[in-house]
Amino acid sequence: MADVARSAGVSLKTVSRVINGVSTVDVAMAARVRDAAGQLGFRANFAASALRSGSSSATIGLLIKDLSNEFYATIASGVAEVARAHQTQLITAHSGENAEDEMEAIFDLCRRRVDGLLIVPTGGNHSALRSEIDLGIPMVFLDRNPVGLDADSVVIDNYAGARDATLTLISEGHTRIGVLVDTLNMPTMRQRVEGIHAAFAAAGLPWDDTLLSTNVRGPAEASIAVERLLSLSVPPTAFFCGNNRSSIGALRTLWEQRRTEALVAFDDFQLAELMPRPFRVLRYDNRALGTLGAELLFRRISGEIFDPVTVVLSTELCPRGIQNFQ
Amino acid sequence: MADVARSAGVSLKTVSRVINGVSTVDVAMAARVRDAAGQLGFRANFAASALRSGSSSATIGLLIKDLSNEFYATIASGVAEVARAHQTQLITAHSGENAEDEMEAIFDLCRRRVDGLLIVPTGGNHSALRSEIDLGIPMVFLDRNPVGLDADSVVIDNYAGARDATLTLISEGHTRIGVLVDTLNMPTMRQRVEGIHAAFAAAGLPWDDTLLSTNVRGPAEASIAVERLLSLSVPPTAFFCGNNRSSIGALRTLWEQRRTEALVAFDDFQLAELMPRPFRVLRYDNRALGTLGAELLFRRISGEIFDPVTVVLSTELCPRGIQNFQ
């Protein structure tokens, strides 16, 4: 501020008044102060104080892929709640489309002086983050474990959830189950498909790969996939949707065509109980991905030392939709 | 980095290898480097370079209230799309519960070296932001106009939307309409209620204040409000819900009780068309609040000079829900 005053040729008090928007300052003088402040990068006083002190910024960062998906938004909301309880600001950044963009976004958050990071990783190798953690920015991974890095995580029991739900469908007499999943580059999707395969193997049933639709990214692709599966010469008698986005598309198509095939969907979602046909969801505590992850992070930030932990959230199969619909 | 090397008594190359997590560095030496880096605040090299250059950070900030609400999440998603197209990072922060926390969150984002800010304001007076804007951080307000500050905004035509929808209900014979709104401290809610009042006045009908439920914050409160209104000695024959959260609760209760009262709801929402009863939504381009706001902001960031503009998005009444449900 003293530099700004010197450069603008005004008193320190005048600089302060301009910065604070006091309107009694002469217009030309105020402009001179702003010019000087701009040239000297005065804005960055927070960055300057952070440089000096090395102290806590009372901020944590969250990296997620897509805010418009209820799944990620609920995680963020859980994190925000815990951050508030710790009087800590939360800033959220968006991972890009690929692993490189994701790492860039993580390093960017680190440079913005956060006390710790929560990351929903989309893929790639995370070993390059070791140095950031060692330099004092703890990280907790949500929904997926980090790759090439031993760090805390909170994940869902994808394998057992998908396996047990499939065993239930098999016990009800279904031997052909149409499966809709997002890209198998996502470990969560791979785990879910592996669970389905395990159920078929355990029941001694053959698995037919034509019943698997991959790269189902949203409701529209899910509708197309369901139509393809229904048009097979021996169509499935049940569907397994890998996430909430695909189940919304599948529900829409099955409803529009008044089909009665069974449907099991990973992820519960808002209004699921008002859908016009019965189905089942693999529910888990979505919000807990955020709250438990944030609590782990604050333990790390407070300096607590413990071996990296992985918290695994279990799933349960729950009825949804209107049962007596006709 | 040179300071770190000097302080730790090692070569620059060693510092670089420790920072980059190369595992062949002697453990004790690596620890010494990390200590030196920690003491010297080496992490903050980004902040340091920002201080020096005063240049663009290629980042914009977004301040929203509640990520778990689809309304805000969709805005954020629109902003993220435009930011990506401008090769700009988006960081999102959460406004607190009151106007003071909101201002604190805005100033915090400013100190983190953003090129501009998008704000969904929750209330309070924004005149203190004048100096930040003058110092070179343009701001665009979404969904609500700023108070005490002349700045760009993108808003919804709440008044005309609510008035016209109410006139439609009146033209269908409804003279008692139950209204559910969030707190009237929100200008958007006040505008919607004023639109409803205007429709009653235009039709020459008296307005009965017992039909207004305020402070309806979510689905649970909406259910209670609907039950209260239905239990009145002369209950309403139609309902007007002020936002998506209240319409979800109202829909649930009206469905559970198999009530056939008309329902009009501000805000469209995912799966609205699969609700088990007909109703109507006041739809608008929710995502455009984010995209148009972000485009305005990037024009400001690029140095374009124009008088503050307010973009007003119109609404349209659309049928939703399953029409032939029984």
Is A326 in CB contact (< 8 Å) with chain B?
yes
Consecutive 10-residue runs of chain B (326 residues): their mean pLDDT? 65 56 55 58 40 64 84 90 91 82 89 92 90 93 95 98 98 98 93 98 97 96 97 97 94 94 95 93 96 98 96 97 73
- Give how far A312 is from chain B: nearest CA, Å: 23
Place of tokens 């374009």: B304
A158-285: same fold as A46-155+286-312? Answer: yes
Chain centroid, CA A208 distance in Å: 32
Per-residue pLDDT, B37: 56
Task: Give the domain ranges of chain A.
Answer: 2-40, 46-155+286-312, 158-285
Looking at the partner chain, which of A47, A67, A90 has a beta carbon nearest the beta carbon of B93?
A90
Interface of A with B in 201-260 (CB under 8 A): 248, 251-252, 255
Is A135's CB within 8 Å of B21's CB? Answer: no
Looking at the partner chain, which of B89, B111, B127 has a beta carbon nearest the beta carbon of A105?
B89
How many cross-chain Cβ pairs, A to B, lie less than 8 Å apart? 185
Asked if B76 and A67 count as a contact pair (C-beta separation under 8 A), the reply is: yes
Q: What is the 3-state secondary structure (H, E, C) of A163-197?
A: HHHHHHHHHCCCCCEEEECCCCCCHHHHHHHHHHH
Is B68's CB within 8 Å of A76's CB? Answer: yes
Per-residue pLDDT, A14: 61
pLDDT in tens, chain A (326 residues): 566 566 666 666 665 555 444 445 565 665 666 566 555 544 433 333 343 344 567 899 999 987 777 888 889 989 999 998 998 989 999 887 678 888 988 998 888 889 999 999 987 899 999 999 998 999 999 999 999 999 999 999 999 999 999 999 999 999 999 999 999 988 999 999 999 999 999 999 999 999 999 999 999 999 999 999 999 999 999 999 999 999 999 999 999 999 999 999 999 998 999 999 999 999 999 999 999 999 999 999 999 999 999 999 999 999 999 886 54
Q: How far is CA B10 from CA B36, B187, B239, B288, B313, in A?
A: 10, 61, 74, 54, 61
How many CB atoms within 10 Å of residue A209? Answer: 6
Give exposure, B305-325, as e/b (b: 16+ Cβ within 10 Å): eeeeeebebebeeeebbeeee
Amino acid identity of residue A198, one-letter, is A
The percent of chain A in helix, strand and coil, each rounded to the nearest 5, is 45, 15, 35
Per-residue pLDDT, B124: 84
Spatial distance between the Cα atoms of B225 and B214, rounded to a whole number of angstroms: 9
Is B112 in CB contact (< 8 Å) with chain A?
yes
Residues of A in contact with B20 (CB under 8 A): 128, 131
Interface of A with B in 27-56 (CB under 8 A): 34, 37-48, 50-54
pTM (2 decimals)? 0.78
Is A41's CB within 8 Å of B34's CB? Answer: no
Spatial distance between the Cα atoms of A274 and A281, rounded to a whole number of angstroms: 13
Superfamily of domain covering A158-285: Response regulator (3.40.50.2300)
Is A84 in CB contact (< 8 Å) with chain B?
yes
Per-residue pLDDT, A289: 97
Per-residue pLDDT, B30: 59
How many CB atoms within 10 Å of residue A185? Answer: 13
Per-residue pLDDT, B11: 67
Residues of A in contact with B320 (CB under 8 A): none
Per-residue pLDDT, B155: 97
Longest dimension (CA), chain A: 86
Spatial distance between the Cα atoms of A117 and A102, rounded to a whole number of angstroms: 13
Scanning chain B, the segments in alpha helix (DSSP H) are 2-8, 12-19, 27-39, 45-53, 70-85, 99-111, 130-134, 158-171, 187-202, 219-230, 244-256, 286-301
- Give how far A205 is from chain B: nearest CA, Å: 35
Spatial distance between the Cα atoms of B213 and A215, rounded to a whole number of angstroms: 46
Residues of B in contact with A45 (CB under 8 A): 111
Looking at the partner chain, which of B34, B45, B89 has a beta carbon nearest the beta carbon of A134?
B34
- Give how far B85 is from chain A: nearest CA, Å: 12
Superfamily of domain covering B46-155+286-312: Response regulator (3.40.50.2300)
Instruction: Please give the structure tokens belonging to residue B93.
Output: 């922060």
Name the residue in chain B with its Cα closest to that of A69.
B73
List A212's β-bridge partners, or say none: A179
Rg (CA), chain B: 26
Amino acid identity of residue B315, one-letter, is T
